[in-house]
Amino acid sequence: MGTIGMSVIGIGGMGSHHASYIHAGEIPGLSLAAVCDTNPERVKWARESFGDSVRSFEDADALYEAGVSDAVLIATPHYDHPALATKAFERGLHVLIEKPAGVYTKSVREMNEAAASSGKVFGIMFQMRTVGAYRKLKDLVDSGDLGEVQRTSWIASDWFRSQFYYDSGSWRATWGGEGGGVLLNQCPHNLDVWQWICGLPKRVRAFCRFGRYHDIEVEDDVTAYVEYENGASGVFIASTGEAPGTDRFEIAGEGGRAILESGRIEFRRNRVPAGKFSRESRKPFAKPEAWNCEVPAPGGGGRHQDIAKDFAAAITDGRTLVAPGEEGIRSLELANAMLMSAWTDSWVDIPFDDDLFHEKIKEKIATSKYKKPAAGDTMDVDGTF
Amino acid sequence: MGTIGMSVIGIGGMGSHHASYIHAGEIPGLSLAAVCDTNPERVKWARESFGDSVRSFEDADALYEAGVSDAVLIATPHYDHPALATKAFERGLHVLIEKPAGVYTKSVREMNEAAASSGKVFGIMFQMRTVGAYRKLKDLVDSGDLGEVQRTSWIASDWFRSQFYYDSGSWRATWGGEGGGVLLNQCPHNLDVWQWICGLPKRVRAFCRFGRYHDIEVEDDVTAYVEYENGASGVFIASTGEAPGTDRFEIAGEGGRAILESGRIEFRRNRVPAGKFSRESRKPFAKPEAWNCEVPAPGGGGRHQDIAKDFAAAITDGRTLVAPGEEGIRSLELANAMLMSAWTDSWVDIPFDDDLFHEKIKEKIATSKYKKPAAGDTMDVDGTF
């Protein structure tokens, strides 16, 4: 078969990066068919960069109407992901979306239904699922080596952003433009990997601080406590105001403890599971003998190209995706639940009422008094994701 | 002047240890004058261990009445600390109490008033305040090197205890006997060092699990979120059910980040404070240059003897104590607030209503249905504190 023609909708910071590596032939089986952006400057940039062989549009409907590709990669601001994806599925296109899946679960659920009806390949750009260390952590949990999970904690405060960053785009860090802050923009990866490895909790109690470190209206600092179905507890901490910041993911289980920090997994394995030891020991202060295990974790992974390749291969040979699009709703449920818990100063169960959250975010947009100092240009996203 | 005669009230696991090193002459200026325990077996042990030169009593009032010492070290179950200390102050004795200061702040506040009226030296056995690494962390905060504190977190889950431990004493881990679990028994040190270095928060939202890992009625697993007056946030996690467990204390400030784990301080210092950098940078993804600083921290410290020596020296030369008894109320306020927050499933401000907590703990005792399987003997506390 020939190559799969891919259109990239939204060629701002992220989308232009995707378009570039596809156009450069880095993804076997995938070719750049078209790009689309509502900003004429970006379209001009695309024409200059990719030449006439790549079609360009200023309107997604026109792109869809032209029928120029087999698949789309949607890299617009978050709000537009579900509607654009739904339209693509209706056109019989395969869809790869940038994270987060959307801003509120109601629209994402509708997108997931459209995807299921279409039978097309649906992926989401959760490239961190290809990182060797995360895959190995998941392996330790799934295999049972860590035993029943008792506590999870992720301090993900290594997302420092300057005020300049927030001032650089009119949609950034506003309820109307992004629908959230650190949870929606910086942390979808963390939230996805967290739930991918440890599962979704059953309830959330979160503490979000809005504009704590920056002149913005959305959250730039979050601490969330969660409880899982099996009785385990968890903590998630995120911030764009801390430097140097921390990125430390810890999972405590009956079988031991695993910590991922600075790219290194530390796994201490109990010779006897903690609960069994507690019940059987006749010593008050003893604890299970624990072995420091050097766990081999494959390096590499974590590149956008890894997910794009996986997506292309799934279209070609029907394989299961590393990051199925339908799972994008899970990290969004976490993010939405955290915001709703902070707004209501109370517990939020998962799943929660989609409509209620949708009402609340509309209210935030309607009552927003925040005015952006200035709209900026497309940012170079080198060094971020 | 001659030596200070010290009586030790309560010679169970902890008190017999104190009595032994004092009797062995390890504390300059201090001699063991008497011991007291309501358990005749322990009094017998003391006679056999210390001989006739050390007076022994089965009743604290009799000890006080006999006027055999200048100071007392109170190492009874927690509930009795305030009443016994108050009586000692009324007798004009210097007092050193084991932690926690008591079980509820109401009685501790009364003890503090009695101490103040007496003018006697009042210390509390917070020997971790003498640990070099903690002193250095405090130095980094107090000196301003860490800058304004933004977030604190202490994962103190390295308190594994077997069911046998809990079954080993009839007073252990009951509302009536101890008045709490991991917060009252294992964590007074963590809570004290935390507040000693970072200050008391202004409000607490905690999640305590009661008998999560053990057949007990009190909390053996806690996650608490706190907010400080300056806007900083904090998390405290404690457990007696996890193995191998974690002991990691992190402080994020404008000036950098300090982590104490495995006895080692990691201090990364921002060349420019985070907030100033955020306001002034013209780069969206840059963050302050941070220097890994090797901070010398004196080793040693952390022994009970360090606090006993400090106490003796304060009596002799009037120096300020490393751990003044009056400050014992602070970690207890934290522990009480965490319990009350969990009981009421809501925020608790600090300071809270002493009387309300007292009512609640009395209610827990009155409605306790828990029966201990068997009462045990005095435990050897080697390897713990």
- At B215 the pLDDT is 97
| CB-CB neighbors (< 8 A) of B288 in chain A | 160, 243-244
Kindly give the parts of chain B with pLDDT less than 50.
Answer: 375-377, 382-384
ipTM for the complex shown: 0.95
**B338 phi-psi bin (left φ>0, alpha ψ -120 to 50, beta other):** alpha
Phi-psi region of B190 (alpha: psi -120 to 50; beta: other; left: phi over 0): alpha
Model confidence at A323, in pLDDT bands (50, 70, 90)?
very high
Given an 8 Å threshold on Cβ–Cβ distance, is B157 in contact with A256? Answer: no
CA distance B195 to chain A (A): 20
Letter for the amino acid at B291? W
In this structure, what is the dihedral angle of CA atoms B77, B81, B82, B86, given to the nearest 10 degrees?
Answer: 140
CA distance B139 to B142: 5
pLDDT at A90 over 90: yes
Which residues in chain A have Cβ-Cβ distances shorter than 8 Å to B237? 151, 153, 235
| Tens-digit pLDDT profile for residues A190-200 | 999 999 999 99
Tokens for A9? 């909708």
Instruction: Please list every residue in chain B whose beta carbon sits closer than 8 Å to the beta carbon of residue A381.
Output: 285
Taking an 8 Å cut-off on Cβ atoms, the answer to whether A257 and B278 are in contact is: no
Measured between alpha carbons, how far is A54 from A47 in angstroms, rounded to an integer?
A: 8
Q: Taking CB atoms and an 8 Å limit, are B241 and A213 in contact across chains? A: no
Nearest partner of B295 among B132, B131, B128, B130, judged by Cα? B132
Q: Report residue A374's pLDDT band, with 50, 70 and 90 as the boundaries.
A: low
pLDDT in tens, A17-28: 999 999 999 999
Integer Cα distance of A354 and B251 in angstroms: 37
Residue A254 distance to chain B (closest CA, Å)? 7
State the Cα–Cα distance between residues A234 and A204, nearest whole angstrom. 9
Q: Would you state the torsion angle of the CA atoms of residues A214, A215, A218, A220, taken in this order, to the nearest 10 degrees?
A: 0
pLDDT of residue B383: 45
Which among A214, A243, A379 has the least Cβ separation from residue B277? A243
State pLDDT tens for residues A39-61.
Answer: 999 999 999 999 999 999 999 99
Whole-model pTM: value is 0.95
The owner of tokens 């999640």 is B207
Query: Judging by beta carbons within 10 Å of its beta carbon (0-12, 13-18, 19+), is residue B366 exposed, middle or buried?
Result: exposed
Give the pairing of strands B149-156 and B247-253. antiparallel
Q: DSSP character for A271?
A: S
Closest by Cα among A4, A2, A1 to A69: A4
Confidence of residue A379 (pLDDT cuts 50, 70, 90): low
pLDDT tens, A125-148? 999 999 999 999 999 999 999 999
- Write phi, then psi, for A198 (nearest 5 degrees): -105, -5
DSSP class of residue B324 equals: B
User: Mind listing the pLDDT tens digit for each residue in B193-214?
Assistant: 999 999 999 999 999 999 999 9
Smallest Cβ–Cβ distance between A290 and the set B235, B243, B257 belongs to B243
